[in-house]
A and B are shown apart, each in its own frame.
Chain A
Amino acid sequence: MSYTLATLWFDRQRYIPGVLAVAFSALLIALQCGLLLGLFSVTSIPIDRAKANIWVGPPKVLSVDVAQKMSEGKARSWLEGQPEVDIRSVEPYICKFANWTKPNGGVELCIIIGSRMNEDSLGTVPELTPELRMKLTEQDTIVVDESELERLDLKKVGDTAEILEHKVRLVGTVKGMKSIAGPYIFCSMPTARRVLRYSSDETIYVLARCHDAKDAIPVVHRLADEQRQKDEHLALSVFTKEEFSLRSRVHWLTKTKAGIALGYAALLGLMVGAVVTIQTLYGATMASMREYATLLALGIPRWRLGVTVVTQAFWIGVLGIILSWPVVFLLAEAAGLLGVKPQLPIWLLGGAAVVTLIMAIGAGSFALRAIKRIEPVNLLR
């Protein structure tokens, strides 16, 4: 066992506050990010629940719900030219913010989700049962999540309201399709086009599916390379399902105030961790001042003692991070029971660990001032 680990273990009572502070930092960062990621995964629900594995949209798409219209025919013929793509699957899809006028007045922002209603449709979410899809084939009909009824000022199936001053009628509800930005309004492509005043060639996305799902990545990369040759204002956006899902979530995470709030919360956690770790290491170093002073008298370079303090900081960081993980998963489960399920992918846990470790090592570097204060001549007074 190294001298540093031996010291940490022997004097564990002294180092525990530092380890706990690092664990707290790692926990706060991972859980905050996980909660936000979980929250913003709602923004990619239309992508995640759809069966399409290739998404083609207008130029410079940032998120699934933030895009302009484009020509369906152009994108369709382009996709149908790819041998790996199942030509029969290519279909238009609309996802667009719009104003919802409540039956008794007042306006709410909503997101129109327009897709084909046939059984093998790529854009339709599985929550839309065959019965609901059948009902939606009727012109100007919609389906919403039952939890959004109150927000939309709807009371029962059959109620009517207006979207962009176009009258629509509620024909059913689904569960588990709640949104954070605005309620999802599910409808057929013809209804979506009528509400948004789009022509029969206008759409926002064209979806496709490969004969073999594994071909989606090479096809998308090939198409993206092709588009990069064009003027960026004309180049269509093309993504795999996974890429587009992540892009949509990251967009909302970084471009909204929630992302900044996350940054502050994480910074606060880091600061608490850093201050306690600095104090722990400073105190521990000062407590060993006479031993360190003896080594300095013997000619051991001061920087070598500094390395020891930073190494202690590194191990405090590692132990704190390891300690935080089971608690993170436990609290994530608890949050899930309360209806908010944090997402904790490996890259998030790894990123939180790296940031926390850098903080711990930085705290160790700050505690080096204790080493600077040690003078071996004081042992002779």
Chain B
Amino acid sequence: MSEDAPVLQGINLTRSFGDGDARHFALSDVTLDLFRGQLVLLMGPSGSGKSTLLAVLSGLLRSDSGRVVASPSGESVDIWQLNNSEREAFRLKHCGFIFQGYNLFPALSARQQLEIVLRWGEGVPSREARERADDMLGLLGLAKKSQLLPSSLSGGEKQRVAIGRALIKTPQFVFADEPTSALDWAHGEQVIELLRSAAHERGSTILVVSHDHRILPFVDAVFHLEDGRLDESDGVQGKAPATAHAED
């Protein structure tokens, strides 16, 4: 499942917001390693910096200092040394995102939500995009709902479509922000199972930010973040070789 070398490293990451007395550190010298095939949970109270860390690691928000080194295909790259279009291309090739809201286009069917990523992102021909979207919806148990609009889908089904949209490109990294927060546990469990199988079967590295303790039994590693610092006594579970430390 996982390999020895980390595929994504956050090294001495610091990020603050505001100026002067109002300056607030969302991240303080955070270092962590993530490995291939891991489902990793990032926990912490509100305002602890979880979403900021996810944004920095995923190339959406630049840190004040520190580095984010990704090695999706062996070769390492500091994603914040890339220019904007190179970073956009990196995200296109290697990153999938699942957000708290489903953020599905209300006018498009489940299939079209997935197709659009392939067609607009990679220029995949329409027939191939359709086949790949149908395959993914089949894996997610939504084969019969491919033509339905979001308004005709349940919350759990919408989130599965959002997961499909994140996984359709077969990305190396998937970043999920509170993917189960809007769901009852029956649907939340389905979602986390899907993410776990994506990590274990596809070899993706999946970082989930969540408050939901019910997820804990399903993940390979857990990081706790509080006041912008990682807890050194991480509740690492199972055999995953996740490492983390805050260098104070």
Interface positions of A (Cβ within 8 A of B) = 3, 6-7, 9-11, 288, 290-291, 293-295, 297-302, 304-305, 376-377, 379-381
What's the dominant secondary structure at chain A's contact region? helix
Closest beta carbon of chain A to B90's beta carbon, Å: 7
Alpha-carbon distance A301/B61, docked complex (angstroms): 17
Question: Cβ of A291: which chain B residues have Cβ within 8 Å of it?
Answer: 103-105
Are B112 and A376 in touch, CB under 8 angstroms?
Answer: no
Does any Cβ of A come within 8 Å of B51's Cβ?
Answer: yes
Are A304 and B120 in touch, CB under 8 angstroms?
Answer: yes
Are B95 and A299 in touch, CB under 8 angstroms?
Answer: yes
Alpha-carbon distance A9/B149, docked complex (angstroms): 13
Question: Cβ of B149: which chain A residues have Cβ within 8 Å of it?
Answer: 10
Are B51 and A3 in touch, CB under 8 angstroms?
Answer: no
**Option from B85, B97, B106 in Cβ contact (under 8 Å) with A298:** B97
Are B97 and A297 in touch, CB under 8 angstroms?
Answer: yes
Are A299 and B51 in touch, CB under 8 angstroms?
Answer: no
Alpha-carbon distance A131/B99, docked complex (angstroms): 90
Does any Cβ of A come within 8 Å of B177's Cβ?
Answer: yes
Are B116 and A295 in touch, CB under 8 angstroms?
Answer: yes
Are A293 and B112 in touch, CB under 8 angstroms?
Answer: no
Are A6 and B108 in touch, CB under 8 angstroms?
Answer: yes
Are B99 and A379 in touch, CB under 8 angstroms?
Answer: yes
Are A297 and B90 in touch, CB under 8 angstroms?
Answer: no
Can you offer 11 A-B residue contacts whose CB atoms are under 8 A?
A10-B107, A11-B107, A294-B103, A297-B60, A298-B117, A299-B95, A302-B88, A376-B60, A376-B97, A377-B61, A379-B177
Are B103 and A300 in touch, CB under 8 angstroms?
Answer: no
Closest beta carbon of chain A to B155's beta carbon, Å: 16
Are A6 and B112 in touch, CB under 8 angstroms?
Answer: yes
Interface positions of B (Cβ within 8 A of A) = 51-52, 54-55, 58, 60-61, 85, 88-93, 95-97, 99-101, 103-108, 112, 116-117, 120-121, 149, 165-166, 169, 177
Alpha-carbon distance A302/B92, docked complex (angstroms): 12
Are A7 and B108 in touch, CB under 8 angstroms?
Answer: yes
Question: Cβ of B91: which chain A residues have Cβ within 8 Å of it?
Answer: 297-299
Alpha-carbon distance A282/B165, docked complex (angstroms): 26
Are A299 and B107 in touch, CB under 8 angstroms?
Answer: no
Question: Cβ of A10: which chain B residues have Cβ within 8 Å of it?
Answer: 106-107, 149
Are B120 and A300 in touch, CB under 8 angstroms?
Answer: yes
Are A380 and B95 in touch, CB under 8 angstroms?
Answer: no
Question: Cβ of A11: which chain B residues have Cβ within 8 Å of it?
Answer: 106-107
Most buried by B among A11, A297, A381: A297
Given contacts A298-B92, A379-B99, contact A7 B55 (CB under 8 A): no
Quick one: closest B residue to A12, CB to CB?
A: B107
Closest beta carbon of chain A to B117's beta carbon, Å: 6
Closest beta carbon of chain B to A2's beta carbon, Å: 10
Given contacts A6-B107, A7-B105, contact A299 B116 (CB under 8 A): no
Alpha-carbon distance A301/B93, docked complex (angstroms): 12
Alpha-carbon distance A381/B47, docked complex (angstroms): 10
Alpha-carbon distance A3/B190, docked complex (angstroms): 29
Question: Cβ of B88: which chain A residues have Cβ within 8 Å of it?
Answer: 299, 301-302
Quick one: closest A residue to B56, CB to CB?
A: A377
Most buried by A among B54, B89, B116: B116
Quick one: closest A residue to B52, CB to CB?
A: A380
Alpha-carbon distance A9/B91, docked complex (angstroms): 31
Are B93 and A299 in touch, CB under 8 angstroms?
Answer: yes
Are B103 and A299 in touch, CB under 8 angstroms?
Answer: no
Are B117 and A300 in touch, CB under 8 angstroms?
Answer: yes
Are A9 and B97 in touch, CB under 8 angstroms?
Answer: no
Given contacts A304-B120, A376-B60, A380-B60, contact A298 B166 (CB under 8 A): yes
Closest beta carbon of chain A to B1's beta carbon, Å: 25
Closest beta carbon of chain A to B58's beta carbon, Å: 8
Given contacts A298-B169, A300-B117, contact A288 B105 (CB under 8 A): yes
Quick one: closest B residue to A293, CB to CB?
A: B103
Question: Cβ of B100: which chain A residues have Cβ within 8 Å of it?
Answer: 379
Alpha-carbon distance A336/B96, docked complex (angstroms): 63
Alpha-carbon distance A3/B116, docked complex (angstroms): 8
Are B103 and A290 in touch, CB under 8 angstroms?
Answer: yes
Are B107 and A300 in touch, CB under 8 angstroms?
Answer: no
Question: Cβ of A297: which chain B residues have Cβ within 8 Å of it?
Answer: 58, 60, 91, 95, 97, 99
